[in-house]
Chain A
Amino acid sequence: KAGVTQTPRYLIKTRGQQVTLSCSPISGHRSVSWYQQTPGQGLQFLFEYFSETQRNKGNFPGRFSGRQFSNSRSEMNVSTLELGDSALYLCATSGGTSGGEQYFGPGTRLTVT
């Protein structure tokens, strides 16, 4: 099976712009979660989608949003970018096995200047 893919891998944006990141899950996986990784805060949960519905959300401002399509692919959007949004954004997908083990993509490195 192909792994989790994320596009683009690298992105440079300017403060105030918006950005959309994409995640394609492993075939058959219906759960997609997003995490932000920074040197200061570590890995933090953004949100999780399952069958096109957001079923959990982390403690991030409303500028961070996401959606999931009927083919389980997911996008996350960040509006009005701030310097502090510079991070590695990781997507993780799960096939619903006991324990919900998640498989991670390589991430999108976002730099905000």
Chain B
Amino acid sequence: AQSVTQLDSQVPVFEEAPVELRCNYSSSVSVYLFWYVQYPNQGLQLLLKYLSGSTLVKGINGFEAEFNKSQTSFHLRKPSVHISDTAEYFCAVSPYGAGSYQLTFGKGTKLSVIP
């Protein structure tokens, strides 16, 4: 079984400041890692994913994340946030080679960008 912990439920940050949203996971098997974003009254949009290879992955809208296997973390970062980044962000994992695409999600982090 897998579990995902998002360490901050809410993160306020001023516009143009950097931000880091933290994610730790637990799994007895290898996993794929994802970050999704959800805007109000919408579904989830994939920001980025880590499957294998380079531990630094770049996604859409200027976001990037770094996979740290020893710390079982997959933190999301953006060097300069915009008002439009205000949304809820979810970290998720799915087991590698399990024959199923089931995602296990964290509880989410609400990012509020302050003008």
Contacts and interface: CB of A to CB of B under 8 A. Distances in A.
Contacts of B32: 99-100
A60 B115 CA distance: 42
B58 to A, nearest CB: 15
Given A43-B90, A100-B94, A106 B101 contact: no
Contacts, number: 58
Given A33-B101, A48-B102, A101 B49 contact: yes
A64 interface: no
A56 B108 contact: no
Contact of B43 (A42, A48, A100, A107): A107
**Do most interface residues of chain A lie in helix, strand or loop, or is the interface mixed?**
strand
Contacts of B46: 101-103
A94 B92 CA distance: 15
B102 A104 contact: no
Interface in B35-75: 36, 41-46, 49, 51
B102 A56 contact: yes
Given A42-B105, A45-B104, A55 B43 contact: no
A56 B43 contact: no
Interface residues of B, number: 24
A44 B92 CA distance: 11
B34 A101 contact: yes
Interface in A22-50: 31, 33, 35, 42-45, 48
A45 B51 contact: no
B100 A104 contact: no
Interface string A75-113: 000000000000000101010001111111111000000
Nearest to B42: A106
Contact of B100 (A35, A55, A106, A107): A55
Contact of A33 (B51, B102, B107): B102
B103 interface: yes
Interface of A: 4, 31, 33, 35, 42-45, 48, 55-56, 58, 90, 92, 94, 98-107
